[in-house]
């Protein structure tokens, strides 16, 4: 391993070489000056013109070197090297940052996906709770009056309407069994096939206002026929929804289908068992 000269040694060496070169040049200039003088003297004595002696460009008188020029040169080189290293580090950091940004974007997408899944799962859980509560209330009702009360509660608290009527099919017509929030007078008896309610009962299909063409009755939101053994045994008419409920959604449709089957069977069973059941 060789010892590298330290920066002050290098500076001193270069300065020394510079001084030596300067001394040599000075002597050469003196010599040339002497030769010029001798030439002029000879030309005078001979009466002829002697060719001019030109100094080479490298021998032209030089300005004395600045004492700190080598040190500045070294500092310049050091700073240039540091700058190159810094640029390389910056480039590496930028590449790393780009990688991290990509990774962050991927994580954000994944996070959003998980959040969406969570919300969807909670919505499904909420629908399950509604369905479970509805079934438990319907099948746990002790007698016809309790069943009608349970259906009323389901419409108010699960569907979200405080205006409803519940009918039973008797003698080819719908007879009002319970009304809440609406005038019961005109609803006491509705022949099958008459009006929106009568037609929904006759067809045995769920009616939702505005789903197939313009609403047939401005006050009605939905009619849910209640079936047992393929026959319509009753119907729930739902009028205006609660003010803060914007409209019926897919979960309401699922609930109506559940009511059609389960509430229909429960109604038929309670009626079969008699008024006291």
Partner 1 sequence: MERKKILLVDDSSTVLLMERMILSKSQYEVVEARDGQEGVEKALAEKPDLILMDVVMPRLNGFEAVRRLREEEATRSIPVIMVTTRGELESVESGYASGCSEYVTKPIDGLELLTKVRSCLGQ
- Interactions with partner 1, residue window 227-266 (CB under 8 A): 242-245
Residues in the interface with partner 1 (CB under 8 A) total 25
Sole window of 13-21, 101-109, 118-126, 218-226 interacting with partner 1 (rule: CB under 8 A): 118-126
Residue closer to partner 1 by CB (options 25, 157) is 157
Shortest CA distance to 254 belongs to which of 213, 222, 218, 219?
A: 222
Smallest gap from residue 123 Cβ to partner 1 (A) = 7
Q: What are phi and psi of 180, to 5 degrees?
A: -145, 120
Q: Take residue 262 and report the two structure tokens written for it.
A: 């389960």
Out of 34, 80, 89, 136, name the contact with partner 1 by CB under 8 A. 136
Residue 41 lies near partner 1 (rule: CB under 8 A): no
Contact 196, 215 (CB under 8 A): no
Residue closer to partner 1 by CB (options 11, 155) is 155
State the DSSP string of 156-172.
IIII--S-EEEEEEETT
What is the spatial order of strands in the sheet that 207-208 belongs to?
A: 189-191, 173-180, 164-170, 231-238, 222-228, 207-208
Residue 268 lies near partner 1 (rule: CB under 8 A): no
- Interactions with partner 1, residue window 142-161 (CB under 8 A): 150, 153-154, 156-160
Pairing of strands 231-238, 189-191: unpaired
H-helix or E-strand spanning residue 180: strand 173-180
H-helix or E-strand spanning residue 119: helix 69-140
Smallest gap from residue 129 Cβ to partner 1 (A) = 5
Smallest gap from residue 171 Cβ to partner 1 (A) = 31
| Interface ranges with partner 1 (CB under 8 A) | 119, 122-123, 125-126, 129-130, 132-134, 136-137, 150, 153-154, 156-160, 162, 242-245
């Amino acid at each position: 391993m060789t010892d590298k000269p330290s920066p002050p040694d290098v500076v001193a060496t270069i300065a020394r070489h510079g001084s030596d070169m300067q001394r040599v040049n000075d002597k050469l200039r003196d010599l040339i000056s002497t030769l010029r003088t001798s030439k002029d003297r000879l030309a005078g004595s001979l009466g002829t013109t002697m060719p001019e002696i030109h100094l080479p460009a490298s021998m032209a008188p030089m300005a004395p070197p600045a004492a700190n020029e080598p040190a500045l040169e070294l500092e310049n080189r050091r700073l240039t090297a540091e700058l190159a290293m810094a640029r390389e580090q910056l480039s590496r950091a930028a590449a790393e940052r780009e990688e991290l940004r990509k990774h962050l974007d991927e994580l954000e997408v994944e996070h959003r996906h998980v959040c969406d899944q969570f919300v969807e799962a909670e919505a499904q859980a909420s629908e399950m709770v509604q369905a479970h509560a509805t079934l438990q209330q319907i099948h746990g009702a002790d007698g016809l009056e309790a069943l009608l009360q349970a259906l009323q509660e389901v419409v108010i608290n699960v569907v979200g309407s405080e205006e409803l009527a519940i009918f039973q099919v008797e003698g080819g017509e719908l007879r009002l069994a319970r009304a809440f929030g609406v005038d019961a007078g005109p609803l006491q008896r509705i022949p099958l096939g008459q009006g929106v309610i009568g037609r929904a009962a006759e067809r045995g299909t769920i009616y939702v206002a505005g789903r197939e063409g313009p609403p047939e009755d401005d006050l009605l939101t939905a009619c849910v026929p209640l079936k047992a053994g393929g026959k319509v045994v009753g119907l729930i008419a739902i009028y205006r929804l609660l003010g803060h409920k914007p409209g019926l959604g897919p979960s309401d449709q699922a609930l109506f289908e559940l009511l059609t089957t389960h509430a229909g069977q429960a109604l038929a069973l309670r009626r079969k068992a008699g008024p006291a059941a």
